Amino acid sequence: MSAEQAVEQAYRDQWSRLLALLVTRLRRFDLAEDSLQGAYVAAARVWPEQGVPERPAAWLYASAYRRALDRVRREDADARRLPLLLTDPQPADVDEDGDVPDERLRLLFACCHPALRPDARAALMLRFVAGLTTAEIARLFLVTEPTMAARLTRAKAKMAAAGIPLRAPSAADLPGRLDVVLKVIYLIFTEGYRATAGPDLLRPRLAAEAIRLGYLVGELLPGEPRGVALLALMLLQHARRDARVAPDGTLVPLAEQDRDRWRHDEIARGRSLLGYLEAVPMAGEYHLQALIAAEHAGPAPPDWPRIARLYAELERRTGSPVVRLNRAVAVAESGSPDAALALLQGLDRALPGNHLLPAVRADLLTRLDRPGEARAAYDAALALVRTAPERAHLEARRSAL
Amino acid sequence: MQYALLIYGDEKVWADRDEREKRQNSERHAKYMAMLRSRNAMLGGEQLSPSATATTVRNGADGVGVTDGPYAETAEQIGGFYLIEAADLDEAIELARQLPEPIVEIRPLVYHPKS
């Protein structure tokens, strides 16, 4: 392996762990980020000349830490007065074997603190837990780099000034705090799985990062059933990514997808995670959703009455109008479009501006042979749809009436 | 760290309380203060007179403006505050949760070291 490859590998394997350790030890985000960046730049210069050190992570850590101390020494009184992040206990240092202690769990919970805004939580997670650059995160969330940098700066400043601690929550707080972590991961995933705006329906990289975070939660909190269920859900949905969009960019409905293009190894992994959850007495929300996704990933046609029952249970838990909409689709597929249409009643107020509601209504009215009303519903959906492939799909359905 | 717990609420609801409810509320706050003291978390705190008694001063470029009433006319007004000592925001949240009032805003105090 060349020195250049060694730097690249150290970046891939160690960046987020080193950053987490530096943030916890230095108790400042900016200092940790800048000095670690400086250490990698130095490695790219020094390693090709002097050879790759025996323990690359320890070298990078020592270099970054030295840079941080130099900078603190040069800083003026104003900078020294800035509040430091709170942490206890102080983390261990890099050990003699060059192993980097894993402080990402503290960062995971700090970045998902309920006192932060949801969009800031997602950005902080991708930066400090997944280790993406600000430019990459900006691209993934379709905002400019200065906008994303400002969002991150605001969030980092609030963490320090408000005293959000770098600490895993107490056993009593853990369930509630884990819910927030999982919600942030799922938000990152859904943003990648079903883009709400823009020309591309999928941003697979974002969904893949969410799955990576899901695995990390499994690694840091092994056997936590909600984490396992979320990971199963994401794997089962993401496995269909290549089949969801046709070459011309249009949306392919599930029933028409080319099953050879599904990632069957990922589906199998999702199913085996669900197998692990069979021992868990009470199915949670992600678990119910994962069971639905598993039905869809099985041999066609799926067991629609079972899917309708799972959605009914999910609706009972969440009271979510989006779940009711999905339940209506499953009821229609079970052979009762009239019952499905009845389920849509009252949803207009709960889902204003959502194109899926009129789209589903249009489909049900088509099945019930009421083309005039169906056409009006398609028009309503077309007035609200925001991505180009979905628009094309709706237009095709409307003209087929 | 030091935090202010700012107590917000509907002044009409506060004003409409009868004597028994006022006494019960005082007792709840006395208990709360005792809890803060037992944890060495109590730095201070006061009840404020209703916002009808407020006077707002604007020190603008065009001279000094003095007006009757609070800065913002909203249904919820600040009715009082506690100053507390807490290890971090999580502890401040835990203490704010125990406050017998509907809305509590937590604001960290800015630390000015004596130079």
CATH code: domain of residue B64: 3.30.70.1060
Asked if residue A166 is part of any domain, the answer here is no
Asked if residue A9 is part of any domain, the answer here is yes
User: What CATH number corresponds to the domain at position A30?
Assistant: 1.10.1740
- What is the mean predicted confidence (pLDDT) over B11-25? 92
Average pLDDT, chain A: 89
Asked if residue A374 is part of any domain, the answer here is yes
Interchain contact, B90 vs A77, CB within 8 Å: no
Is the pLDDT at B73 greater than 70? The verdict is yes
What residues contact residue B24 under an 8 Å CB cut-off, 6+ apart? none
pLDDT recorded at residue B74: 87
- What is the mean predicted confidence (pLDDT) over B27-34? 96
Asked if residue A391 is part of any domain, the answer here is yes
Pick among A78, A86, A116, A158 to test the B interface (most B CBs inside 10 A)? A86
For residue A92, what is the DSSP state?
A: P
Q: Closest partner residue to A115 among B87, B89, B111, by Cβ?
A: B89
Task: Please state, in angstroms and as integers, the Cα–Cα distance from residue B94 to each residue in A90, A115, A169, B97, B98, following that order.
Answer: 23, 13, 12, 5, 7
Range of the domain at B103: 2-108
pTM over 0.90, yes/no? no
Asked if residue A324 is part of any domain, the answer here is yes
pLDDT recorded at residue A200: 58
pLDDT tens per residue, range A149-202: 999 999 999 999 999 999 888 888 888 899 999 999 998 898 776 554 455 555
H-type helices in A127-263, by residue range?
Answer: 134-140, 145-162, 174-193, 204-220, 225-238, 241-244
Q: Closest partner residue to B88 among A77, A81, A165, by Cβ?
A: A165
Is the pLDDT at A231 greater than 90? The verdict is yes
Range of the domain at A54: 3-80
Interface of A with B in 48-107 (CB under 8 A): 77, 81, 83, 86, 88
Asked if residue A107 is part of any domain, the answer here is no
Asked if residue B113 is part of any domain, the answer here is no
H-type helices in chain B, by residue range?
Answer: 11-15, 19-38, 89-97
Among the candidates A22, A55, A80, a domain finishes at A80
Question: Which ipTM did the prediction report?
Answer: 0.83
Quote the number of domains for chain B.
1
pLDDT recorded at residue A32: 95
Average pLDDT, chain B: 91
Quote the number of domains for chain A.
2
Structure tokens at B54: 């407020």
* Greater pLDDT, A187 or B24: B24
- Provide φ and ψ at A145, rounded to 5°: -65, -45
- Provide φ and ψ at B79, rounded to 5°: -105, -10
Collapsing DSSP states into helix, strand and coil, what is residue B41? coil
Size of interface A-B (CB pairs under 8 A): 32
Measured CA to CA, the distance from residue A187 to residue A112 in angstroms comes to: 12
Asked if residue A209 is part of any domain, the answer here is no
